[in-house]
Amino acid sequence: MNITALQADITTLDVDAVVNAANTSLLGGGGVDGAIHRAAGPELLKACRTLGGCPTGDAKLTDGFKLPARYVIHTVGPVWHGGTRGEADQLASCYQRSLALAESAGARTVAFPSISTGVYRYPVEEAAQIAVSTVSQALKQCTAVKAVTFCCFSGADLAVYQKYLEQLTA
C-alpha cells in the first residue's frame, strides 16, 4: 500500500518531505517542532522567520537544511477544545494543505507526525481516523506524491494508526 505507519523519530527519516506540527508563529516550540528545528539547524528558524506565520489548518514549505528530508512542510493543527470548535475540519485541512504543498514541490515521499495529538491534546483515536481517511482521499488527486508514512513516536500511537490503515484495505 502507498500509505504506511511506523514508529520512529521523524527527523531521521529519509523522505522527500517531513511535516512539522508547528504553531501559528512558525518560530519553533517543543515536541516534534523542537526536534525538527534542532535536527535541521538554525537555518530553519531563519527560513521560518520570512514566512509571516501560518493560520491553523494551513501549511508552509521550507527547505530541510541538515535533515535527511529535502523539505519541511510546517502545518498548524488545532488545539483540542472538545471537538465543537471545528477541530476536525481544521485537522483534515492540515493533511490536505500539506499534501498539496508536497505535490507542488514534486515530493514523492512524505512523512507526517501525529498532528495535534501532543501538546494540543487532540485524542489520538479521532485524530488518526481523520489523518488516515483524509490522506487516502487526497492521495488519489496526487501525481507527484507516491507514498505517505505516518511517523508515530510511541508504540501505542502506531497501533492506533495501524488499526485505521487496516480498515482502509478491509
Binding site for ligand AR6 (CB under 6 A): 9-11, 21-23, 29-33, 35, 77, 113-120, 151, 153, 157
14 is catalytic: no
- For the bound state, the minimum distance from the C-beta of residue 19 to ligand AR6, rounded and expressed in Å, comes to 10
| Residue 17 CB, nearest approach to ligand AR6 (Å) | 14
Q: How many helices (H) and strands (E) does the chain have?
A: 5, 6
For ligand AR6, give the closer residue by CB, 8 or 100.
8
Among residues 16, 33, 58, 157, the one annotated as catalytic is 33
- State in angstroms the smallest separation of the CB of 167 from ligand AR6: 20
Q: 77 φ, ψ to 5°?
A: -80, 165
User: SS3 for 16?
Assistant: coil
Counted residue by residue, the chain has a size of: 170
Nearer to ligand AR6, 69 or 107 (CB): 69
Would you say 31 or 123 has its CB closer to ligand AR6?
A: 31
Neighbours of 142 (CB within 10 A): 18
Q: Which of 9, 20, 69 is nearest to 45 (CA)?
A: 20
Query: 88: number of CA atoms within 13 Å, CB side?
Result: 10
Active site amino acids: 33
